[in-house]
Amino acid sequence: MSSSRRDTVAAWWQAGPFAAVLAFFFVAPLLLIFAVSFWPTSDYELVPGFTGQNYVSIFEGCSHLAEPCVTLKTYASTLGFSLMTWAATLVLGFAIAYFLAFHVRTPAMQTLLFVLCTIPFWTSNVIRMISWVPLLGRNGLVNQGLLGLGLVNEPVEWLLFSPFSVVLAFVHLNTMFMLVPIFNSMMRIDRSLLEAADDAGASGWQTLWNVVVPLSRTGIVIGSIFVITVVMGDFVTVGVMGGQQIASVGKVIQVQTSYLQFPLAAANAVVLLVAVLMIIAALTRMVDLRKEL
């Protein structure tokens, strides 16, 4: 056996276990969900079969252009949460990463500050969400402070169990997913490029926009993928911080599974997966991740 052939066989043996794990835990469940999405919907049992009625039910009424259907409204609400969370986490993540990468000089202090940023991840997501209730509630610290300062005459109702609280919780939970890849991209930037821009007379904002941002594009895209995909499928945050009053695609799927409507939930999951893959495809067109990474 030639050397190149032996190397090829060895590579396949090395990749085989990882491919098997990926196929069993990722590909097979997706195929199962896709198959179940075509089964007839039953109130009490799963009946194998083939029907497109589940997808028809999802988009029922969407042919009327005058009034958007429930599905489109739900997807618009979920996409709105994703975009607002993405914008907020991008600003926060980029600013913190820029400070850590270019203004903190010693690696030890960078490591210390980076670890401090991860402290919220040491607790459960539910605990972190619930921690906002004493702050934003009708009798919470924020309302008490506003009343004490005379800025409002009565408690502000929209601070909790509202779209505002949902987005706030999303930003709290997902900023690290944006910060980490951006910080990694910034640490790979050659500092001589910044010195060259400064020698050429570029201002700080010009250097930021024309040097740092383009070279951080890979991290921005990766962080955007993380944040948007997590928010699009989330249902716990929407349920807790929205007071069970705000709809999202993930919440709809969770309710359908709780009522044992698994084929309909599977169809919704397939539609959500296609929507998320379209968003990811649009983001990855901005940068060649395989080349950059």
Distance, in Å, from the CA atom of 89 to the CA atom of 80, rounded to the nearest integer, reads 14
Please list, in sequence order, all residues whose beta carbon lies within 8 angstroms of the beta carbon of residue 292, skipping any fewer than 6 positions away: 218
CATH node for 66-292: 1.10.3720.10
pLDDT of residue 105: 80
Using a 10 angstrom Cβ sphere, with 0-12 exposed, 13-18 middle and 19 or more buried, the burial of residue 137 is: middle
Distance, in Å, from the CA atom of 111 to the CA atom of 92, rounded to the nearest integer, reads 18
- DSSP 8-state secondary structure symbol assigned to residue 157: G
Q: Report angle CA 123, 128, 129 to the nearest 5 degrees.
A: 150
pLDDT of residue 2: 53
Phi first, then psi, for residue 60 (nearest 5°) are -65, 130
pLDDT of residue 291: 60
Write out the chain's pLDDT in tens, 293 residues. 455 666 566 667 777 888 888 889 989 999 999 999 998 887 777 788 888 888 888 888 776 666 677 888 888 899 999 999 999 999 999 999 999 888 888 888 888 888 888 887 788 888 888 888 888 888 888 888 888 888 888 888 888 888 999 999 999 989 999 999 999 989 888 888 888 888 888 888 888 888 888 889 989 999 999 999 999 988 888 888 888 788 889 888 988 888 888 899 999 999 999 999 999 888 888 777 666 55
pLDDT of residue 79: 92
pLDDT of residue 122: 80
